Amino acid sequence: MNNLVSIVIPTRNEEGNIERLLIWGLWQASLIHELKYEYEAIVVDDSSDETAQIATSLGARVIKGKGKGLGQAIIDGINASNGDVVVVMDADLSHNPHAIPGMIKPIIQEGADMTIGSRYVKGGSNPHWSLIRRIISRGACLLALPITSVKDATSGFFAFKKEILSGIELNPSSWKIMLEVLIKAEPLLVQELPIQFDERNSGKSKFDTKQTVAYVKHLTLLTLHKYRKFIKYCIVGGTGALIHLGIVWTLTDTIGLWYMLSSCIAIGIAVIWNFNLNLFWTFTAGAKADEANYDWVGFHNGNPVQKWWKQSIAKTIWKWIPNSNSLLNVGCGSSANASKYPDSINIDVNQEKLDYLKSKLPLINVKNMSAESLEFKDETFAHVICIELVEHLQEPEKTISEIARVLKQEGEAIIATPDYNRKWWLLAEKFTPAKEQHIYHFTRKKLNDMCKEFGLICTKYKYVAGCDYIGMYRKGK
């Protein structure tokens, strides 16, 4: 990360507010510096007054707007930003700039991809609004419920990692660019933080009926984008039904085949058609097993089965080891398991995965190191976790030996691996992206026997989906 926050401020005739914002607000946000970050203020101006001149005199970078509305102005500011964290806020002082440090902290320290200044979470408010305005705002948020669970879907005060927009084209259909980022970039971790929304200091609100219509149109486009896979799935199902009916009619009425046999043939062909069309058109491939973000994406945003599977393993680990300031995570990849252990040391031989994990959890310690030759002294750690690694190794006993060596007496290790003695795994493996990389086929007995050779005794175990084995091992005296 380049330790720079870009604060994007779209303006139109805000000469009565911009000076106070830049002097009283951003220039006083010293907590940003305490987080070891610098900032740049980017004013995207569509004004006919002195807003641009005032902003320039106060050190802001001013970009001439294209006169295409608030949404386009925000996008232009984002595109011009140099920071790896971007904050978007209004210029009318309805968004308190002193909230900025609290909004960027979860991004730079806790692995969040996006934060939203929310009026509708606990602690948030809009105390100066009339009843009618509150009803309109709540109604607009309710309209967005089909596409997001965010409580304040119409917030204009938000921050995000700029990297999440890689390959994403934002559409200025309305002024709610926050929804564009939220739906199209699909940030994995989003936090809503309470803010007090104040009345503008001076000037006139730009909200009107035209903006309302634009918002509804924008929501419609985002809904189609959000459910594009479901729509494709329905289209595939419809074509499969037509193929089925066409084959039944052809084989029965034209060729004279028995209708039950025709139907069986038609079902088989339609199923193959649907499966392949869904595979290559509907469900675009997610992260591959050897890609840097595979583990993190699977945990937070994988398909429902993958997400549940990875989270079930993590919850078991976190339950068995609720906290630890002496933990080694062996073969961590980009797994979110480390998020509960900020003092842990996380090792892997894939530097790209380590870099990705570090980008998500900047405070954790990562090291490029082989699991078969740990560069630590004997009896260093109270806890070791090794999740779905040993099956990828030619000689997993070397790693088990190293885990036992660096583990303190009475220390505990959690090891997880598929159990090839379980019938369910024979089915599940067919859908596992990394199945070709499984070299050593463990069973619970094989793993327990191997661990026992090095003084690690199983104290409890659990299966995920009846086939993925998780064992807790204690090092005896």
Q: What is the mean pLDDT of each run of 10 residues along the chain (477 residues)?
A: 86 89 67 77 93 92 88 93 93 88 89 93 88 88 90 93 85 83 90 86 58 84 84 89 94 91 93 81 61 85 79 95 95 90 93 90 90 95 96 94 96 96 82 75 95 96 94 90
Question: How many whole angstroms separate alpha carbon 240 and alpha carbon 234?
Answer: 10
Place of tokens 């909230």: 99
Separation in Å, CA 207 to CA 96, 133, 266, 400, 420: 20, 11, 57, 64, 62
Question: How many whole angstroms separate alpha carbon 80 and alpha carbon 448?
Answer: 57
**Helix/strand/coil percentages in the chain, nearest 5:** 45, 20, 35
Separation in Å, CA 290 to CA 63, 284, 354: 41, 17, 12
The sign of the CA dihedral 431, 433, 436, 442 is negative
Cβ burial of 443 (10 Å; 0-12, 13-18, 19+) is middle
**Residue 84: Cβ within 10 Å count:** 18
* 406 dihedral zone (left: phi>0; alpha: psi -120 to 50; beta): alpha
Q: What's the chain's Rg over C-alpha atoms? A: 28
Question: How many whole angstroms separate alpha carbon 105 and alpha carbon 363?
Answer: 12
| Residues 316, 388 contacting (CB under 8 angstroms) | no
Separation in Å, CA 415 to CA 253, 293, 300, 381, 394: 60, 22, 22, 15, 17
Separation in Å, CA 402 to CA 76, 349, 358, 432, 464: 53, 15, 24, 28, 26
| Residues 474, 457 contacting (CB under 8 angstroms) | yes
In this predicted structure, what is the pLDDT of residue 275?
A: 82
Phi, psi for 317 (deg, rounded to 5): -60, -50
User: At 255, which amino acid appears?
Assistant: I
Place of tokens 């911009």: 18
In this predicted structure, what is the pLDDT of residue 175?
A: 73
Q: How far apart are the first and last CA of the chain?
A: 45
Question: How many whole angstroms separate alpha carbon 237 and alpha carbon 243?
Answer: 10
Angle at CA of residue 286, ends 282 and 288, nearest 5° = 135
In this predicted structure, what is the pLDDT of residue 289?
A: 67
Per-residue tokens: 43 = 């004013």
| Residues 114, 161 contacting (CB under 8 angstroms) | yes
In this predicted structure, what is the pLDDT of residue 26?
A: 64
In this predicted structure, what is the pLDDT of residue 352?
A: 92
What domains appear along the chain, each with residue ranges and CATH number? Answer: 4-204 (3.90.550.10), 228-282 (no CATH), 294-475 (3.40.50.150)
In this predicted structure, what is the pLDDT of residue 288?
A: 64
Question: How many whole angstroms separate alpha carbon 283 and alpha carbon 24?
Answer: 50
Angle at CA of residue 283, ends 281 and 286, nearest 5° = 125
Nearest in space to 468 (alpha carbons), one of 413, 428, 408: 428
Question: How many whole angstroms separate alpha carbon 356 and alpha carbon 284?
Answer: 22
Question: How many whole angstroms separate alpha carbon 335 and alpha carbon 323?
Answer: 17
Question: How many whole angstroms separate alpha carbon 19 and alpha carbon 56?
Answer: 10
Point out which residues pair with 43 in neighbouring strands. Answer: 9, 62
Strands 456-464 vs 468-475: parallel, antiparallel or unpaired: antiparallel
Phi, psi for 102 (deg, rounded to 5): -65, -25
Nearest in space to 408 (alpha carbons), one of 367, 378, 451: 378
In this predicted structure, what is the pLDDT of residue 206?
A: 52
